[in-house]
Amino acid sequence: MTSRPASFRSLKVLESSHSRRALNLFARGGCLLMLASGAARANEPEAPEAPVQAEAPAPGDAAPADDAVWGEEALAQVELPASMTDAARTLEEAPVVVCSGSLHQAYRPGLLLTTPRSSAQRESLQFSGCPVNDGVEMVAVGMETQHLKRATCIGGTGGASTATVTWSNGERSSVALERVASVVDGGMQVFTSEGTIGSGRHAGHGVRLVTAVPTLTTLAACVQPSGLTANMGVAMLTVLDLPTVLDMPAGRQ
């Protein structure tokens, strides 16, 4: 495995203010990984701090739009969850690739706090940097659309899914994911999914996807008449340098 730093760069599709705030936040986590792996050079300039955000208007000043993206202000304020900043543990797993970036979610119709409804969930990930890589970096991950039944903001969102990873050299990988954990860590709701790359680059290797969205602003959106229709957060996807259980010789599983 070869580990080398990759400059945090903005992609054309991520030039909105929402995404830049998420990428600034996740740049901090990426720097931890680079420092732990010895890849950060001492003479490199420090990453600029995220700009200070203006105070949010008082409740009642303006009604949020139905397509408002929640989580923007909170992402500029909160610290990354410990599961995304534990660089030492991540590197002990000898990963092939670790990439960080932004998460975008959309629900149609929007999710309500406690009233169940069917909704189509769409998620996409865009990566700003891969501090650990084998010379090829992830560019984006497209998740299949999930059709949720009787879902609410506090339960029944997400589960088993498939995703397509696009790499910087043009290759693609098909990934099967299963959600294994959902916890509150500080001001973030953290979701962990694990699975296997079924085909394409790194086929047969295990993957871990960790995503996080701000808790309070997500719940605030859920009590709006339109519900939670769009949200944003941060994401880290790790390709493990280990074969999957199915690839192990008989008797060693």
Residue 127 lies in a domain: yes
Residue 36 lies in a domain: no
The structural domain count of the chain equals 1
- Structure confidence by residue, pLDDT tens digits, 190-204: 999 999 999 999 999
Residue 47 lies in a domain: no
- Structure confidence by residue, pLDDT tens digits, 196-225: 999 999 999 999 999 999 988 888 899 999
- Structure confidence by residue, pLDDT tens digits, 42-67: 333 444 444 444 444 444 444 445 55
Residue 8 lies in a domain: no
Residue 181 lies in a domain: yes
Say how many C-beta atoms besides its own lie within 10 A of residue 214's C-beta: 25
Give the length of the chain. Answer: 253
Residue 60 lies in a domain: no
Q: Across residues 85-107, what is the average pLDDT?
A: 88
Residue 2 lies in a domain: no
Output Rg (C-alpha) for the chain, integer angstroms: 18
Residue 231 lies in a domain: yes
- Judging by DSSP bridges, how do beta strands 228-243 and 69-70 pair with one another? parallel
Domain that holds residue 199: 95-243
